[in-house]
Structure 1
Amino acid sequence: MLKLNLYRILLSRGIEDPYQHLRSNGYQRHKITNLMHGRNATVNLDELEYLCETYGCTPNDLLDWTPSDESKDNKSHPLQPLRRSKTSVSIHKMIDALSPDRIKELERYIVERGER
């Protein structure tokens, strides 16, 4: 089953209160609840494009996949890259927990890969 997982991308962008963030961007309560709990059965392409543009991501970043039938789960399935771990942790909280030396190491890693 494919599900929209907006929560993960919002946390990765440092948005600690996704509900309030989406509310301030014009989303209604019911829609926010569905988005945050992966209960959106349909997302139109305009909305998907808007989310991708807003959060600097691709549709693949917003989707999670769990095989509907575990017996059909195989490593060569084309949706395997969309399998995610169940945990969503704010990258900002992870960085806050690093020592200054580890932060410098992380900065070097990012600069070396041209992600700056």
Structure 2
Amino acid sequence: MLTLNLAPIFKARGIDRPYSTLVKAGISRMSAGKILNGTTRVFRLDHIEIICTILHCEPNDLLQWKPSGQTNSTTHPLNNLKQTNISYNLKQTLATIPLKQLKEFDNIIAKQTEENS
């Protein structure tokens, strides 16, 4: 089953009030509620663009696929949308790792940022 997977992204971006964020960005209150509750049956392209802009992500990041038993193939393209659990408590991680590792982490981020520019 294909579902929206927004909560971990909002958490990773440090957004504590996703509903308010979506409404302020121009998504109606009703649509924002349905999107966040996972009850929306229609996901408009303009909403996808707004959410991707806010969260600095791509549409594939918004979707999660859990096999329903109909597709058993491990090579099916939907397997790319399976999400893995990632700890998004980066602030705590950064506060507790040794300074040497923090410097190494900063260098890795700087290198990635430079490559993506």
TM bracket (short chain):
0.7 to 0.9
| Structure 1 gap segments, 5+ residues each | none
Which whole-Å deviations, capped at 9, do the CAs of 1:57-113 have from their partners, x for residues lacking one? Answer: 1100111111121x6333211011210135663433433333322211111112233
* Percentage of matched positions with identical amino acids: 31
CA RMSD for the aligned pairs? 2.7
Counterpart code for 1:89: Y
Contact in 2 for aligned 1:2/1:65 (Cα 8 Å):
yes
C-alpha distance 94-26 of structure 1, shift in aligned 2 (>3 A): farther
| Structure 2 gap segments, 5+ residues each | none
Structure-1 separation of matches of 2:100 and 2:51? 35
TM-score (norm 1): 0.75
Equivalent residue pairs, number: 115
Contact in 2 for aligned 1:60/1:82 (Cα 8 Å):
yes
Asked which structure has the greater RCO (Cα within 8 Å, sep 6+), the reply is 1
Contact in 1 for aligned 2:25/2:50 (Cα 8 Å):
no
Which whole-Å deviations, capped at 9, do the CAs of 1:10-61 have from their partners, x for residues lacking one? Answer: 1221213434434554556654443234332211111111111222211001
Structure 2 equivalent of residue 102 of structure 1:
101
C-alpha distance 22-45 of structure 1, shift in aligned 2 (>3 A): closer
C-alpha distance 66-55 of structure 1, shift in aligned 2 (>3 A): same
Contact in 1 for aligned 2:13/2:55 (Cα 8 Å):
yes
Counterpart code for 2:105: L
Q: Which runs of 4+ in 1 moved over 6 A?
A: none
Structure-2 separation of matches of 1:11 and 1:26? 20
Contact in 2 for aligned 1:95/1:103 (Cα 8 Å):
yes
